[in-house]
């Protein structure tokens, strides 16, 4: 594979010999929690993790064109960043570097072997005062680390060439399995999937690979709730494999619209390594002559829209509080508190963002655990825009389901909302509101 990559560099040498169109900076910082520490993502866990299998990282790629267009992409090996963190980091970037909100995109890998990020998925936990303090302290330090990695990437700016391409990996499967008792988490071999592996390469003037951004639409749930070690799952493995193959380069993983996608099969660390290598191999094939040049300018757009929750009343949660399920009890208490404060949750503030490089590559960043229907529809609506559609961006507040998935019911639209401390499923037509916002940001970013 290295020989093919070298051949590719020879073939594109005339392009690399031209003046660099961009300035790019890359940085990383460890975000591995101190041990012992509670992991998140599974309700079945009963104690904290005692050891670290692999380090967790936050990484940043800063881009700038000759006209002053800028963007910073931040990836992190965590379950998801809540709005409280993303907004604070973006505000610091504005004050320190003059970056607009549209110019900072934060994406999370959604590993289920990573630390609790407060208040994300807080219904899963009933911490004592000391443990609560440790979790809050880690979250505060995470905010500081994300700020620091942006600072470092901007300090690292140097001439760069950018190129993009697409590969494929095939270990994801739609997990929404229809049964006689409704949809459950399982295997749906006829359900929609997105096996695309988008790749963005960043090389220096001499042709050396400085960074590679790649993505995939699949939950990082290869490891189950019986795994009690810190780990980045398949996404972490893929990043390590690429960095091993390209010393000095930084690999950044984007979680795409994998809200209803699982690795298949799963459950062992051998599966983690298998899928990580498979994904890294897909990226290597693209790096080896599957790339097309990307040109300036750097443009971006940001919009927040409002999604309605299905109607609910105080009586809804008074009844739920009687449940024998401790998670329903916790959710009910939180919702009754909102009624007591005369501020019941009726709407979800939802972020949509686009970062566009010339007419050659566009990253559409959507908040929440987005199901694959959104990526398929967006790519259909924008077939000329070399679109990468990432979920898990900026605010992972709950699952964001399509109208189809909402009508089918099941874990993603209904049950998951308990753990996310949301009052219930989204209302019908949420998909159309999201796409109205998508069209706004795509148009503002210069989509064709």
Task: Quick: pLDDT tens for 346-355.
Answer: 999 999 999 9
User: By the 8 A CB rule, do 158 and 67 touch?
Assistant: no
What per-residue confidence (pLDDT) applies to 19? Answer: 82
| Tens digit of each residue's pLDDT (9 = 90 or more) over 152-166 | 999 999 999 999 999
What per-residue confidence (pLDDT) applies to 290? Answer: 86
Q: What is the mean pLDDT of residues 233-246?
A: 98
What per-residue confidence (pLDDT) applies to 8? Answer: 56
Domain ranges of the chain: 2-293+381-397, 310-344
Q: Decide if pLDDT at 17 tops 70.
A: no
User: By the 8 A CB rule, do 307 and 427 touch?
Assistant: yes
Q: Decide if pLDDT at 120 tops 80.
A: yes
User: By the 8 A CB rule, do 37 and 113 touch?
Assistant: no
Q: What are phi and psi of 385, to 5 degrees?
A: -110, 10
Q: What's the pLDDT band for 11 if we cut at 50, 70, 90?
A: very low
Q: What token pair was written down for 431?
A: 């998909």
Q: Decide if pLDDT at 75 tops 60.
A: yes
User: By the 8 A CB rule, do 166 and 281 touch?
Assistant: no
Q: Decide if pLDDT at 62 tops 90.
A: yes
Q: What are phi and psi of 447, to 5 degrees?
A: -65, 150
Q: Is the pTM of this model over 0.85?
A: yes
Q: What is the mean pLDDT of residues 221-250?
A: 98
Q: What is the mean pLDDT of residues 112-118?
A: 98
Q: What is the mean pLDDT of residues 118-133?
A: 97
Q: Decide if pLDDT at 224 tops 70.
A: yes
Of 392, 361, 393, 364, residue with least CA distance to 376: 364
How far is the C-alpha of 438 from the C-alpha of 364, rounded, in Å? 8
Q: Decide if pLDDT at 12 tops 70.
A: no
Q: Decide if pLDDT at 14 tops 80.
A: no
Q: Percentage of the chain with pLDDT > 70?
A: 96
* HEC string for the chain: CHHHHHHHHHHCHHHHHCCCCEEEEEEEEECCCCCCECECCCCCCCCCECEECCCCEEEEEEEEECCCCEEEEEEECCCCCCHHHHHHHHHHHHHHHCCCHHHEEEEECCECCCECCCCCCHHHCCCCHHHHHHHHHHHHHHHHHHHHHHHHHHHCCEEEEEEEEEEECCCEEEEEEEECCEEEEEEECCCCCCCEEEEEEEECCCCCEEEEEEEECCCECCCCCCCCEECCHHHHHHHHHHHHHCCCCEEEEEECCCCCEEECCCCCHHHHHHHHHHHHHHHHHHHCCCCEEECCCEEEEEEEEEEEECCCCHHHHHHHCCCCCHHHHHHHHHHHHHHHCCCCCCEEEEEEEEEEECCCEEEEEECCEECHHHHHHHHHHCCCCCEEEECCECCCCCEECCHHHHHHCCHHHHHHHHHCCCCCCECCCHHHHHHHHHHHHHHHCCCC
| Tens digit of each residue's pLDDT (9 = 90 or more) over 269-324 | 999 999 999 999 999 999 998 899 999 999 999 999 999 999 999 999 999 999 99
Q: Max alpha carbon distance in the chain (Å)?
A: 70
| Tens digit of each residue's pLDDT (9 = 90 or more) over 193-215 | 999 999 999 999 989 999 999 99
User: By the 8 A CB rule, do 23 and 203 touch?
Assistant: no
Q: What token pair was written down for 366?
A: 């959507």
Q: What's the pLDDT band for 15 if we cut at 50, 70, 90?
A: very low
Q: What is the mean pLDDT of residues 140-153?
A: 98
Write down the mean pLDDT value for the chain. Answer: 96
Q: What's the pLDDT band for 13 if we cut at 50, 70, 90?
A: very low
């Amino acid at each position: 594979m290295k020989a093919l990559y070298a051949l590719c560099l020879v073939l594109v040498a005339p392009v690399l010999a031209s003046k660099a169109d961009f300035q790019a900076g890359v940085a990383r910082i460890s975000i591995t929690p101190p041990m012992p520490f509670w992991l998140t993502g599974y309700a079945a866990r009963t104690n904290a993790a005692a050891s670290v299998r692999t380090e967790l990282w936050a990484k940043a790629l800063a881009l700038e064109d000759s006209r002053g267009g800028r963007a910073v992409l931040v990836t992190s090996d965590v379950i998801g960043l809540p709005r409280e963190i993303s907004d604070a980091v973006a505000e610091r970037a504005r004050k320190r570097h003059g970056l607009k909100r549209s110019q900072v995109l934060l994406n999370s890998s959604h590993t289920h072997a990573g630390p609790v990020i407060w208040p994300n998925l807080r219904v899963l936990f009933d911490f004592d005062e000391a443990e609560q303090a440790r979790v809050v302290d880690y979250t505060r330090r995470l905010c500081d680390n994300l700020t620091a990695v942006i600072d470092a990437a901007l300090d690292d700016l140097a001439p760069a060439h950018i190129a993009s391409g697409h590969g494929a990996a095939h270990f994801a499967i739609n997990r929404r399995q229809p049964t006689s008792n409704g949809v459950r988490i399982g295997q749906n071999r006829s359900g929609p999937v997105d096996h695309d592996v988008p790749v963005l390469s960043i090389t220096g003037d001499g042709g050396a690979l400085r960074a590679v951004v790649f993505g995939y639409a699949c939950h990082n749930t290869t490891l189950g709730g019986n795994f009690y070690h810190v780990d980045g799952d398949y996404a972490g493995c893929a990043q390590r494999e690429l960095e091993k193959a390209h010393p000095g380069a930084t690999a950044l993983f984007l979680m795409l619209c994998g809200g209803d996608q699982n690795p298949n099969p799963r459950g062992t660390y051998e599966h983690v390594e298998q899928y990580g290598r498979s994904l890294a191999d897909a990226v290597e094939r693209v790096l080896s002559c599957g790339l097309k040049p990307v040109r300036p300018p750097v443009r971006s757009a940001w919009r927040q829209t409002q999604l309605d929750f299905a109607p609910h009343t105080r009586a809804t949660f008074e009844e739920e509080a009687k449940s024998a399920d401790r998670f329903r009890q916790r959710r009910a208490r939180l919702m009754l508190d909102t009624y007591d404060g005369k501020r019941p949750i009726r709407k979800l503030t939802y972020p949509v963002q686009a970062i566009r490089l010339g007419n050659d590559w566009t990253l559409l960043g959507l908040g929440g655990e987005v199901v694959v229907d959104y990526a398929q529809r967006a790519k259909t609506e924008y077939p000329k825009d070399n679109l990468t559609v990432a979920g898990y961006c900026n605010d992972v507040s709950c699952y964001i389901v399509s109208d189809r998935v909402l009508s089918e019911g099941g874990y993603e639209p209904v049950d998951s909302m308990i753990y996310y401390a949301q009052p219930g499923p989204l209302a019908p037509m949420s998909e159309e509101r999201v796409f109205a916002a998508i069209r706004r940001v795509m148009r503002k970013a210069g989509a064709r």
